[in-house]
Amino acid sequence: MHQSDKDWWRNAVIYQIYPRSFLDSNKDGIGIISKIEYLKSLEVDAIWLSPIFKSPMNDMGYDVSDYFDIDPLFGNMDDFEELINICHKNGLKLIIDQVYSHTSDEHPFFKQSKKDKENDRADWYVWADPKEDGGPPNNWLSVFGGSAWEWSSKRRQYYLHNFLKSQPDLNFHNIDVQNWVLSIADFWLKKGVDGFRLDVANYYFHDPKLRDNPSRKNIKAPFANPYGMQDHKYSINQKENFSFLKKLRIVSEKYKNSILLGEIDNKDLQIKYTEGGDKLHLAYSFELLRKELSTDTIQDSIDYFYSSTKDGWPCWSFSNHDVKRHISRWSRDKSNLDDLAKISCALLLSLKGTVCIYQGEELGQTETKLEFEELTDPPGIEFWPEEAGRDGCRTPMVWNSQKLNAGFSEVKPWLPVKKEQKQKSIDLQEDKNDSVLRFYKEMIKARKEHFSRQTYDFDFIPSNDLLIFSNGSSEKIICIFNLDNETKTIEKNNYQYNSAFPSNKLSTENDYYVFQAYGFGFFNLR
C-alpha cells in the first residue's frame, strides 16, 4: 500500500541546495536548472533551497530586504518560475527557505520603523527604552556574539536582534506583522512551491516583559561564544509560537500537498511543534547535527522522539549549511573516510522519519579548512580561531576534477575550492562501482523500496556492541551497524543477510557475521 500524495513528505529524502555554492552558471549567479538531471539521478523526492530573496548578503541571504523578489545573484522571477516547472516535470518537489523571525536592516519597513515612535511601522520591530544607566533593557545575547540589543540614535531606543545587528527582529506580538508574514507564505505557495523550510521557527516571539534570561546550570567555564551560557527562556521559545504556526498551517493547507519543515534547536519543541496535525508537518533539531557518532547517541536521540509522541514527525540529518560536515565531525582519522561516509548514509537512510541530505554529502565531502582571510561568515570571523564558523561546510560543489574550480565557476568563487574537496568530484565517482556517490544512489533506491511506507514498526534491539534496530511493515528488516573501529561479530542463527541492500565490510566466519570498523548489513529474520 502506497502512501497518499498528501503524505509524500513522510519518509521522503530531501536534498538541500545551498544556491550560492551549487553551480555558478553565468559568472555571477547560480545555476540549478542545468543540474536537474543530476538531482533526478539521485532519486530524491524534493529539493530545499536556502534563501534566494533580495538581500545585502550580510548573512548570506538570511537577511532579507525584499520577501517578494529574487536576488539578482540567483536570477529573476522568470528563472524561478521555470525552476518550479522543471522540478515538477521531473517529479521533484521544491521547498524554499523562509526567514520570518527577522528582516534585513535594509528592509523598507525597518527603515520606516526606526524613524520615530509614531509612524505606521513603529511597532513592527522589537524596540525598548534603555535602562537608567543607558544600558540595554536586559541581558539577552545574540547568537552571533555580544548583546542582542543595538542602540538607534535616531529613535533613541534599542532594537532586538537575535543574530547580526543588521538583522532586526520582527515584533510578532503585532497582529499586522503576523498577517504580513502570512501574506508572504501565501505569495510563494501560489507561485507553486511545495512548502517551506522555516528558519529558526521557535524564535518568532519574545517575552513582552523583557525579563532577563537565567544562566544555564553547571556551566563552569565560558564558551568561545557566551550565548551558550544562558537558558534562553524569555528571548525565544514562547508559547505564542504555537498559535502563529497554526495560522501558518491554515495557509499551507490551502495549497495541495504543501508542507512546513521547521528548524528547531530544541528536541522537546521538535516534538511539540509537530504534534496534533495543526502546526508544522515535520521538524529537525540539532540532536544529530552536533553530537558524536555512537550507538548511545543515535539510539537515545531516535528513541526519545518516538517514545515521547504519538503523531509528531521528525526530519533527521547529519549535515547542513550550519554545522561542520559530519564526515569531518565524526572521523577519528583519515584512513577510512569513505567507509564512514557509507555507514552514515546507510544509517540515515534506514531511519524512520524524513531525511535531509546536504549537497556534497553524497560525495563523502569533508569540511574545508580555510584561512582567516578566506572567511566570509560573521560568527566565524568573530570567534576565530576557537570557532571557525560555517564557511567550511559551504564551499562550492565539485563537479569535475579536470576543470577550473572543479567545474563550479569560471571565475574566482566566493569561497575557495581546495584540493581535498576536488578529489571527491562527481566525475571521479559517477562511474566507479564502489564510490560513495554510487552507494548513496543504491541506498536511496533501497529505502524507497523497503522503508517508504507511511507507518511501520521501528524498534531498537538491545546489544552491547552493535547498533541494531528493526524497520519495516510487511517485510521486517534488521539493520545492524558497527560504529566503532574494532571488529565485532554476531551469531548467524537468527539472521538471514538481505542482499537487496548495500552493505559494507561485512563478511562471514563459520557461524558468525563479522563486522569490521564501520561495517554494517541488513538482514531478514530467519
Structure confidence by residue, pLDDT tens digits, 332-371: 887 889 999 999 999 999 999 999 999 999 999 999 999 9
Quote the CA–CA distance of 262 and 66 in Å, as a whole number. Answer: 21
What percent of the chain is modeled with pLDDT above 90? 89
- Tracing cell 534488521 back to the chain, one arrives at 478
- Is 424 exposed, middle or buried (CB count within 10 Å of its CB: 0-12, 13-18, 19+)? buried
Which residues, 6+ apart, have CB-to-CB distance to 37 below 8 Å?
Answer: none
Q: HSE-up of 285 (CA within 13 Å, CB side)?
A: 18
199 belongs to the catalytic site: yes
Lowest mean pLDDT among 188-197, 270-279, 445-454: 445-454
- The stretch 103-125 carries a mean pLDDT of 98
Quote the CA–CA distance of 320 and 356 in Å, as a whole number. Answer: 8
The confidence score (pLDDT) of residue 20 equals 95
The confidence score (pLDDT) of residue 222 equals 67
Quote the CA–CA distance of 418 and 402 in Å, as a whole number. Answer: 13
* pLDDT class of 474 with cuts at 50, 70, 90: low
pLDDT tops 70 at residue 119? yes
Angle at which helices 240-253 and 175-191 cross, to 10°: 30
118 belongs to the catalytic site: no
The confidence score (pLDDT) of residue 2 equals 43
- Tracing cell 555558478 back to the chain, one arrives at 24
- The stretch 154-173 carries a mean pLDDT of 98
Active-site entry in 263, 367, 442, 484: 263
Handedness of CA 276, 240, 290, 446 (dihedral sign): positive
The confidence score (pLDDT) of residue 1 equals 31
Q: Where are the alpha helices (DSSP H) in 157-256?
A: 175-191, 240-253
Q: Where are the alpha helices (DSSP H) in 428-467?
A: 436-450
CA 441 to chain centre: 20
Return the bridge partners of 469, or none. Answer: 460, 479
* pLDDT class of 250 with cuts at 50, 70, 90: very high
Q: Round to the nearest angstrom and report the end-to-end CA distance of the chain.
A: 24
Domains of the chain: 5-104+175-388+431-446 (3.20.20.80), 454-525 (2.60.40.1180)
Quote the CA–CA distance of 288 and 358 in Å, as a whole number. Answer: 14
Which residues, 6+ apart, have CB-to-CB distance to 157 below 8 Å?
Answer: 117, 127, 128, 129, 130, 151
Quote the CA–CA distance of 321 and 22 in Å, as a whole number. Answer: 12
All three cell numbers of 401, joined, read 576534477
Active-site entry in 71, 97, 169, 199: 199
pLDDT in tens, 24-51: 977 554 689 999 999 999 999 999 999 9
* pLDDT class of 473 with cuts at 50, 70, 90: low
All three cell numbers of 363, joined, read 560525495
What's the mean per-residue pLDDT of the chain?
94
